[in-house]
């Protein structure tokens, strides 16, 4: 009786292990049913999100042939730096020639260069997009910007917010406008945020927020401005002369 129980137990263990191996088996690689010659970003590029989280909108790319006609069944592979996760990482284009993936950012703050590649008949076609991951302080500043700043500084309206940008006689700089804001020092940004535009001989339409935002809030807001700047902000540092 004991021997029979031992045999049954051994059979159960083997069956369980076999079942685990079967469930862990990877699915076969996708095989393209067609090939395009061009790929372009449709939507989902230039997004900003918190480190380690999924971006709000999926990345969508379009694959066409030589005549600009959508290609169905073309393979698209999404690639990025270590720590970036795609769901899915490879997909076949749908009837409209589009491929869609969700991007989860890595745990390190910074800019992530994403590539979407589709194999062609003679060579692969590639499109690149940049997504930005914000650290804790930068994310705090980004939320403060959404609450206090974007109504005027962001020219695009959203479901949650109607932009006042077009109604202003003097247009404020979007926070992504690195060509202008990168030239301003942190001290200048602190002055204009806390004391308003007149502090730097600029438009009085920029109100002071010194009584609204704490010093830590202002530092976070500046960190966010530096993180989203395009072209990227390059902080001044020590310069070593070459002999």
Sorted by where each starts, the structural domains of the chain and their CATH numbers stand as: 38-134 (2.60.40.10), 136-228 (1.10.760.10)
Q: How far apart are CA 118 and CA 98, in angstroms?
A: 11
> In terms of pLDDT, which residue wins out, 91 or 30?
91
List, for residues 206-238, the tens digit of each pLDDT value.
Answer: 999 999 999 999 999 999 999 999 999 998 765
Q: Which residues, other chains included, contact 74 with Cβ-Cβ below 8 Å and sequence gap of 6+?
A: 32, 33, 34, 35, 36, 63, 92, 93, 97, 99, 118
Q: How far apart are CA 40 and CA 78, in angstroms?
A: 13
Is the pLDDT at 186 greater than 90, yes or no?
A: yes
**Confidence bin at 16 (pLDDT 50/70/90):** very low
- Give the pLDDT of residue 235: 85
- Give the pLDDT of residue 61: 98
- Cβ–Cβ under 8 Å, residues 61 and 128: no
Is the pLDDT at 93 greater than 50, yes or no?
A: yes
pTM greater than 0.75 (yes/no): yes
Mean pLDDT, the chain, whole residue set: 88
Q: How far apart are CA 182 and CA 232, in angstroms?
A: 8
Closest CA relative to residue 131, chosen from 217, 52, 218? 52
- Give the pLDDT of residue 68: 95
List, for residues 104-158, the tens digit of each pLDDT value.
Answer: 999 999 999 999 999 988 899 999 999 999 999 999 999 999 999 999 999 999 8
- Cβ–Cβ under 8 Å, residues 132 and 227: yes
180: its two tokens: 């202008």
Is the pLDDT at 181 greater than 50, yes or no?
A: yes
Is the pLDDT at 11 greater than 50, yes or no?
A: no
């Amino acid at each position: 009786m004991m021997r029979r129980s031992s045999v049954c137990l051994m059979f159960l263990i083997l069956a369980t292990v076999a079942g685990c191996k079967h469930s862990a088996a990877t699915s076969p690689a996708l095989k393209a049913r067609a090939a395009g010659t061009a790929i372009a970003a449709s939507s989902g590029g230039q997004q900003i999100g918190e480190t380690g989280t999924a971006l709000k909108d999926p990345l969508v790319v379009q694959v066409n042939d030589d005549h600009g006609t959508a290609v169905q069944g073309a393979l698209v592979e999404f690639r990025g730096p270590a720590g970036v996760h795609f769901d899915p990482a490879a997909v076949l284009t749908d009837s409209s020639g589009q491929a869609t993936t969700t991007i989860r950012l890595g745990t390190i703050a910074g800019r992530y260069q994403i590539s979407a590649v589709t194999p062609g008949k003679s060579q692969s076609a590639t499109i690149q997009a940049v997504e930005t991951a914000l650290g804790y302080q930068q994310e705090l500043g980004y939320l403060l910007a959404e609450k206090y700043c974007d109504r005027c500084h962001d020219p695009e309206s959203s479901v949650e917010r109607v932009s006042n940008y077009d109604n202003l006689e003097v247009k404020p700089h979007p926070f992504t406008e690195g060509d202008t804001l990168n030239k301003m020092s942190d001290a200048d940004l602190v002055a204009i945020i806390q004391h308003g535009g007149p502090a730097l001989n600029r438009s009085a339409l920029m109100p002071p927020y010194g009584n609204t935002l704490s010093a830590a809030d202002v530092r976070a807001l500046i960190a966010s401005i530096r993180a989203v700047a395009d072209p990227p902000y390059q902080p001044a540092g020590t310069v070593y002369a070459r002999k």
